[in-house]
Amino acid sequence: MDSRLTNRLKGLLLPLLLAPSGLAQQPPSPALPDIRQLMHEVQAHQRQLDKVRENYTYSTLETTQDIDSNGKVTKTESVEEEDFFVNGHVIARTVKKNGQPLSDHDQQKETESVTKRVEKAEKTPPDQPLEGQAISISRVLEILDVSNPRREIYRGRQTIVFDFVGRKDAKTHGLVEDASKKLQGTIWVDEADRQVAHLEVNFNDNFRVAGGLLASIQKGSNFRFDQALVSDGLWLPTGGEGTMQARLLMVKNVRQHFVEHDFDYKRFRVETQQGKDAKVMPEKSR
């Protein structure tokens, strides 16, 4: 899953629930699939969508609030980005900060940064993390224990839901994998499309970066993430929300609440031939 945060469901039970009682016997529900097999199918479906996703861009508005010890908001900032996919990786281009377009100087710096990220994404296999932002579902399954599978209707679609918790004894490599051992939560998988529709996660223990010298993410920090079917067969992020509590450099306590809204999906193509002038171009109307 990705930096700012990144990868949502079909109802089948309504006709049965509306049928008059006693007139017909409801057929038994099909057996739940093996969760590990299900997640491998999710990963396979994700790979199939990677190439389709690379024809689309969307906007992201993230609002972050700093909160003091009394729960009062002390500062609010917002960033608007244009997100697109390159070789299965999400690339975010900042276009506004606090509602204001970037200055010419900042636009040039952002263009150069995006170009470097595009070039790196092109060289990084889709199933490998880019800049440590995400790990593959297969790898996640090796780190997490899953339990309590069940079916639920989520936003009108049938989903398979299960809980998970990080394995304390898992052998991990890198910051993201280490942090995964401190997580617990619940995943909603669309049963028809085999896509993650909703994810809720929280830290069940403190997570220390560099032994706590750089930062310590506090127990109780949490976030949720949503994807949805936005067009024929295409699943894209729709938003997320979370609260992070941390201690930085062993001296400063930080508490932030963030809300992300993803919108304005459209087709696009990435121009990389111009090097530092790489940009997202909307397709011409046909």
Q: Among 35-44, 52-61, 131-140, 180-189, where is mean pLDDT lowest?
A: 131-140
Q: Cα–Cα distance between 243 and 223 in angstroms, integer?
A: 6
CA distances from 86 to 6, 16, 31, 146, 261 (A): 13, 43, 37, 31, 21
pLDDT given at position 127:
66
pLDDT given at position 139:
66
For the chain, strand residue ranges (E) read 56-67, 73-86, 89-97, 100-101, 144-154, 157-166, 183-190, 196-203, 207-209, 215-217, 222-231, 234-248, 252-271, 279-282
Query: Which residues touch 131 (CB under 8 Å, ≥6 apart)?
Result: 3, 117, 120
Helices (H), 217-286: none
Name the more confident of 181 and 78. Answer: 78
* pLDDT band at residue 246 under the 50/70/90 scheme: confident
Which of 38-47, 103-112, 130-139 is the most confident on average? 103-112
Summary mean pLDDT of the chain = 78
pLDDT given at position 166:
87
The yes-or-no verdict on residue 241 having pLDDT over 70 is yes
Q: Work out the percent of the chain whose per-residue pLDDT is above 70.
A: 76
The yes-or-no verdict on residue 232 having pLDDT over 90 is no
